[in-house]
Structure 1
Amino acid sequence: MKLKGVNCLPDAIAALRAGDIAVFENLYDLFEPRLFAFAMHLLGHKEEAEEIVQEVFLKVWEGRSQLNPEQNFGGYLFSIAKNIAYNRARHRAYEVAFAQYFKVTGTGAGCFTEETIAYRDLERLLQETYATLPPVRRQVFVLSRLEGKSNGEIAQLLSTSTSNIENHLHKALKAIREKLRISNAL
């Protein structure tokens, strides 16, 4: 694979890590058609597929310093696109479920119930808790639980072993459970 001014994909990734915008544009031109087709296959909506492609490349640009030149870059892009598409589908399912709930219970969507307040309190407590985790543990937790990445993907992204990622997740979840137990006791 030959990119303008770059001999191979690992060289292109190394240049991208250094912030070479021309290489980024070349990689976009190279992978955009296949990513778009993949996103269309998953979602069936042109606008959403275009948004996913843009979001994938935004994530690549923002995380360029973490890219591994030896990693399968195409696989990495498709993995990001798949996660974004699944997160959007999950979000849509939640919206439909909440709309159905409000319809069945006769509760207005704008009405703040005790459950909504409790949910927001829990969400705030969780955010405060994982903000106190050590930086790497917090990063692993966010990538796993909030971004939906697999342990293998996180290990590859952070250049470490899957067992190390599992250890970080175990300790993060233990700390969160302990914090929730303490908060419940209060």
Structure 2
Amino acid sequence: MIETCKAQQTDVIFSEFHDAVFYRIIDTLAPLIGDVEGEEVAQEALLKVFLLIQKNNSFDNFRESLFAMKPLAFVIAKNMALSRIRHKKVREKFHEIERLKQANASIKSIESTVINDHQTQLMLEAVNHLPPICRQVFIHRKLYGKSHTDIAQMLSISTKTVENHLAKGLKLCRQYIVKQHIKASSMEKKRA
């Protein structure tokens, strides 16, 4: 019965403390974190003060001890609000970094696609500049994956000739691509 009475008095005292401090804390925090978050922080700060007083004091001086902790309630609330602000900034920075990483990956993907398309286009141009028989041998071997023997039979030439046309085709394609890169580099230098 005595414990029930003390608990009821504690509730009444805390309610008075809450009424005296709660809205003042919200008014102080609202410019920093807004009303809704300010209410949450104020509630947590008051609870921390209440638990601290309840843990460290007897019931006899509970009221005086609790009301003496008004400044501590403001300090706790302010520190919690600043902590939330810092945490929010860290989260925002993390999300910004993630967005930049995704954007960068997307750009790299686009760049590699463009580079691959350009390289494929350049290779096709090089193959189209090959002499006709050399081009046929090169296409059948590199695109269709046919063996030297199959190509030799199809074109009625020896396997050694197939090998020679392949070597010549690779050499001419390489020369064409190098020539195109040199041409592109000289054009870029002229622009600069």
Specify if TM > 0.5: no
TM-score of the superposition, structure 2-length normalised?
A: 0.41
Q: Which has the higher helix share?
A: 2
Q: Taking structure 1 as the reference length, what is the TM-score of the superposition?
A: 0.43
